[in-house]
Chains A and B, each alone.
Chain A
Amino acid sequence: MPCGLFFETYQKDESIFPTLWLRVWMIALGIGLLIFPFVAQPISDWMGMNMLNMLNLMFIYIVGAHGLNLLTGYTGQISLGHGAFMGVGAYTAGILANMGWPFWLALPMAGFMTAAVGMIFGVPSLRLRGLYLAIATMAAQFILDYAMRNWSSLTGGSSGLTVPAASIGDFTFDSDFKFYFLALALAALATLYLKNVTRTRTGRAFVAVRDRYLSAEVIGVNLFKYRIMSFGISSFMVGIAGGLWAYYITIISDEHFTMWLSVQYLAMIIVGGLGSVLGSIYGVVFMVTLPELLRLPAEALTNLYPDIFVIFSSLREMVFGVIVIIFLIFEPDGLAARWHTIRAYWKLWPFSY
């Protein structure tokens, strides 16, 4: 029986899934995710919520959270503008779709447009760090928010913009079931991309900029280039998430892309784990599932005591806030770190000394 990992080649040591068991589990997860939509209906009925809808939202948010994690977790540049950046992606995709652009062209354009906007608002990062950068990106949030609401000729203003469903060739992603596979593919692609970037030259340079920018410069990392590049890639991913959102929801209005969404994105990566690929996935799953799970007891209690429904609906938000605070106190490094601790424990069990 092997009592440790003993790799004989550098390729094996550097692979994403180095052990047989890990590969088996990943394949199982992949198959599970592919089969899930076929059995989703009974599960949804039993749980009392629309599982497919929830998973689709999760996949969309995963793409965006990966983007923000690259910027904030890996490069150490906080952004409070990612909610609005997602809106830029959504509106770009929506407007282009209404102009008759095909889905496969409009979605990347949403990414590029958002990358351009993100890089412009990322320029202050050359001088500003930490809280100061947070305020600067918050300005981006308000400016873009204002534009989305008031530039009615382009965005439809507060009455919103209708977007046709996504279609490739003759196939239209017009139901939760069909959209699931599209969102799953893009979330998987984003995850793979982030994992690969962070284990190669560019990703290491990002972390160097985060940890010690002075010695990063000494080893030849161009701070200007990598700070802006980080904003660009991050905004691109969030723009793709926005485009997907537009095609999924099919009606977009400015209400969704407010400061609250930016804060939610930040909460996702902080609860999940900054600077960890798995972290953004855990964070999204946590932030999307928890409110739904809290809804169930709230509704059950409402059936018993209809009069206090109002109190319970706000109680849900409060419990949500309390749980997030508890997480930050007891696991400030996020769910990904907790997962590592659990794994390390079982690796050593029963000899935990």
Chain B
Amino acid sequence: MPLPSAAGQEQRKDSISTKPLLIVDDIHLRFGGLNALSGVSFQVQQGHIQAIIGPNGAGKTCILNCICRFYHPHKGRIVFDDKDISKVPTHRVAELGIARSFQNIELFRGMTVLDNIKLGHHVHMHSGFLSGGVYLGKARREEMRVRAEIEERIIDLLEIEAIRKQVVGTLPYGLQKRVELARALAMRPKILLLDEPMAGMNLEETEDMARFILDVNEEWDVTVVLIEHDMGVVMDISDNVVVLDFGTKIAQGSPQEVSKNPHVIEAYLGAEDAAYSKLGL
């Protein structure tokens, strides 16, 4: 499938009404005496690809962990789809339409690719331990429906037909990352939180992954929050970038704006090197 041109993409995104899907409002998170996040606020617009960047230890993953309720912020509020989710238990976040992938792959290693993806569909299925145990009628039809949906929408999109029966633990790293994306997609998310989906990938795999993220964003209209260290990818595919450093937001804006921001350059290069780079040395 041909990629939509950058101009067309800009046009489409401008035409949709800018309604924030996710609002992170003044989040404070402390571990003992360490302030992991001190007053971070930003909004993610519906349909955008929102990048979060920052040096190591800036608190990027902490933000994602707060959104999917692994961490409980000491102060602040997270609003998703006009609903305050600050008190929602962790296992109910999936039902709201929040899916995520992890920095270190968190797949179910002993299961096949297909079973992993089916598990992503867990909250949209209804069979219990009785109807499942009998495996007739409703439970059986449901299994078949899920199988067809996964095969035809997700496995086809991500081009993992050949490995669907393989056990996940035996797959190479790049494919595991792709399976993790597949599992997240099976959750029929409204928003997809991706924690370094391209880390440790070669150029070709990175390009594939970038294409999948764009496809999902364009065709399924899924909003994406992306943590990534590969600046080339961030600059190319994201609509908006948030820059974190030491648990505070130091800049937000379009990729072009952010890359020229002196605070960002300073955070990435250090004050001294930033001064040299201004002089062009």
Give chain A's interface residues, CB within 8 Å of chain B. 10-11, 13-14, 193, 196-197, 199-205, 207-208, 210-212, 214-223, 229, 233, 275
Interface on B for A, CB 8 Å cutoff? 68, 70, 90-95, 99-100, 102, 106-111, 115, 118-120, 122-123, 125-129, 132-135, 139, 142-144, 147-148, 151, 183, 187
Q: What is the bound-complex CA distance between A235 and B3, given in angstroms?
A: 55
Q: In the complex the two chains form, what is the Cα distance from A202 to B126 in whole Å?
A: 9
Which residue in B70, B122, B148 is a CB contact (below 8 Å) of A219?
B122
* The 10 nearest A-B residue pairs measured at CB: A220-B94, A200-B132, A220-B123, A211-B108, A215-B106, A196-B135, A202-B129, A193-B133, A10-B147, A197-B133
Q: How far is the CA of A215 from the CA of B129 in the complex (A)?
A: 21
- Residues of chain B within 8 A (CB-CB) of A219 are 94, 99, 119-120, 122-123, 183, 187
A200 with B143, Cβ < 8 A, contacts A215-B107, A218-B90, A223-B91 known: yes
- What separation, in Å, do the CA atoms of A212 and B116 have in the docked complex? 11
Q: Verify A217–B91 contact, CB threshold 8 A.
A: yes
- The answer to whether B94 touches A204, judged by C-beta atoms less than 8 angstroms apart, is no
Given contacts A210-B110, A221-B91, 7 further A-B contacts (CB under 8 A): A202-B128, A204-B115, A204-B122, A208-B108, A211-B108, A219-B187, A223-B91
Inter-chain contacts of B119 with A (CB < 8 A)? 204-205, 208, 216, 219, 221
With contacts A200-B135, A201-B127, A201-B132 taken as known, whether A14 is within 8 angstroms of B143 at the C-beta atoms is yes
A-B contact pairs, 20 of them (CB 8 A): A10-B148, A196-B133, A197-B129, A200-B133, A201-B126, A201-B132, A201-B139, A202-B129, A202-B132, A204-B115, A207-B110, A207-B111, A207-B115, A212-B108, A214-B106, A217-B90, A220-B91, A220-B95, A220-B123, A233-B129
Expressed in whole angstroms, the minimum distance between the Cβ of A221 and any Cβ of chain B is 6
A214, closest chain B residue (CB): B106
Docked pose: A210 CA to B147 CA in angstroms: 23
What residues of chain B lie closer than 8 Å to A205, measured between beta carbons?
119, 122
CA distance A323 to B183 in the complex (A): 42
A69 CB to nearest chain B CB (Å): 14
Partner of A220, one of B92, B106, B115, B127: B92
- Least CB distance from B132 to A in Å reads 3
Question: Which residue on B lies nearest to A232, using beta carbons?
Answer: B129
Complex: chain B residue closest to A220, CB-CB: B94
Chain B residue numbers with a CB within 8 Å of A193 are: 133-134
The reply to whether A211 and B110 form a contact with Cβ atoms under 8 Å apart is yes
A112 to B120, CA, bound (A): 32
